[in-house]
Amino acid sequence: MNIQDIKQRFEIIGNSPLLNFALETAVKVAPTDITVLINGESGVGKEAFSKIIHAMSNRKHGPFIAVNCGAIPEGTIDSELFGHEKGSFTGAHETRKGYFETVNSGTIFLDEVGELPLETQSRLLRILESGEFIKVGSSKTQKTDVRVVAATNKDLLVLADHGKFREDLYYRLCTVPIRVPALRERKEDIHLLFRKFSADFSEKYKSKPVVLDAEAQNILANYRWPGNIRQLKNIAEQLSVVDEDKFVNAQELQHVIPPERTNLPMVMSGNISDPNQMNERDIFYKVLFDLRKDLGDLKGIVFDMLQGNVSRENMMNTHQNNTTISSENAYPMHNMQPSNMQVNQPLQTNNIIEIPVSQPVIESLSLEEKELEMIKKALEKYHGKRKKAANELGISERTLYRKIKQYNLE
């Protein structure tokens, strides 16, 4: 069966090279029992690829089940996947078979596999390696012959770096990776998909199909589509219902397409001072916030010196005690000069202190420099012991090792 036949059978629309490559990979791997990991953003149609793999495999006459791992509560996920014995927990009134038992000789599709709890990941790893599992509340080992196709919209290696996903499970799942492209990477397919959805909704609602003018088509092609095909389908349905003449121009289309969001940094909520709850980006933001506070402290101290309110000895004591002055209340740099003082004129207070006010020394705010400095300090503090240094920095040992190679600190 060629690619065009597959597209027609599974209602896949588009001629993007990235889409065709993903389909070709799925066709090649389907006849084997190799575990497949499908990567792609939410809404790109990852489940369709799992169905293609099952339908073209030697297990096509066996059962197929799709499980959304993110939709099952953590307390019941093990019971759902592996089954449980009667009385194994409150509410377990009878013995129940799990998905891996009922889908024996078939295919199980684990969507959002990155949402699995670590304990469940260990159980899944055992099935992938030996085909064995144990029901919840049982001590008896059972065998199953199930092909696993998994999917995720997250970077599982990043989750592994933060201790949220088993790295050995990642490599066991990712025997053959298939990447489904985002809709914005398939610009040539966007209008084709819209026309297909428009025709479907025209038949459903007994109305004329929606037609876009040239400018509206251009807007459609250049929108980022964060919700991908699912979002495009919703837009087509909305226009099919609300537009009266079914001929849509650019202005009318913009009314139903939500504005694109900008990914600006946000102040992190919670206890940002706890390194165990911080990722690398949080650490960078914390460094910047601390620098801002320290700069505010320095401005306040220097201003008091200029006014003669603080001596050099008091200034040093204040600095050592880390007296906090809010940067919001600190004086701006242009107000740090007394009115009777010349620009570029060094201030002389009792012939002791000379400060060139108009040329303040500003500390570098480079994130890379600060990151390198923090890594060096952590390694020096723990005499090169990477595990302890990584814990101090709030990152994984793997990430620290990568940073050491990046900055040539070996």
The CA–CA distances, whole Å, from 251 to 83, 212, 242, 247 equal: 54, 11, 14, 12
Helix axis angle for 397-406 and 367-381, nearest 10°, is 120
Structure tokens at 348: 């002389």
Helix axis angle for 46-55 and 17-29, nearest 10°, is 40
In the structure, what pLDDT confidence band is assigned to residue 278 with cuts at 50, 70 and 90? low
The answer on pLDDT for 271 being more than 80 is no
**Distant-in-sequence, close-in-space partners of 308: CB < 8 Å, separation ≥ 6:** 349
- C-alpha dihedral sign at 65, 197, 5, 185: negative
Write down the pLDDT at residue 193. Answer: 96
- Digit-coded pLDDT (tens) for 21-38: 999 999 999 999 999 999
Rg of the chain over Cα atoms, rounded to whole angstroms, equals 30
- Digit-coded pLDDT (tens) for 248-265: 999 999 999 988 765 444
How far apart (Å, rounded) are the C-alpha atoms in residues 392 and 381? 10
Listed ranges 128-137, 302-311, 375-384; the one with the highest mean pLDDT: 128-137
Write down the pLDDT at residue 330. Answer: 42
3-state percent breakdown (helix, strand, coil) of the chain, nearest 5: 50, 10, 40
What's the predicted TM-score (pTM) here?
0.64
CATH fold, domain 185-256, is Helicase, Ruva Protein; domain 3 (1.10.8)
In the structure, what pLDDT confidence band is assigned to residue 321 with cuts at 50, 70 and 90? low
CA triplet 309, 315, 317: central angle to 5 degrees? 130
In the structure, what pLDDT confidence band is assigned to residue 267 with cuts at 50, 70 and 90? very low
Of 119, 121, 86, 83, the C-alpha closest to 104 is 83
Write down the pLDDT at residue 212. Answer: 95
37, β-bridge pairs: 150, 177
- C-alpha dihedral sign at 81, 83, 89, 93: positive
How far apart (Å, rounded) are the C-alpha atoms in residues 343 and 249? 60
* Phi-psi sector, 308: left (phi>0), alpha (psi -120 to 50), beta: left
Say whether 367-406 and 3-179 share the same fold. Answer: no
The full set of domain ranges for the chain reads 3-179, 185-256, 275-355, 367-406
**What 3-state DSSP class applies to 387?**
helix
- Where does 141-242 have alpha helices with state H? 156-161, 167-173, 187-205, 214-222, 228-242
Of 66, 136, 155, the C-alpha closest to 97 is 136
Q: Do residues 337 and 306 lie in contact, with contact meaning Cβ atoms separated by under 8 Å?
A: yes
For domain 367-406, the question of CATH label 1.10.10 is answered with yes
Number of neighbours of residue 384 by Cβ within 10 angstroms: 11
The answer on pLDDT for 269 being more than 90 is no
Number of neighbours of residue 237 by Cβ within 10 angstroms: 17
- Digit-coded pLDDT (tens) for 147-179: 999 999 999 999 999 999 999 999 999 999 999
What values do phi and psi take at 314, rounded to 5?
-65, -35
Q: Would you state the CATH architecture of domain 3-179? A: 3-Layer(aba) Sandwich (3.40)
Determine how β-strand 132-134 pairs with β-strand 141-143: antiparallel
What values do phi and psi take at 149, rounded to 5?
-120, 120
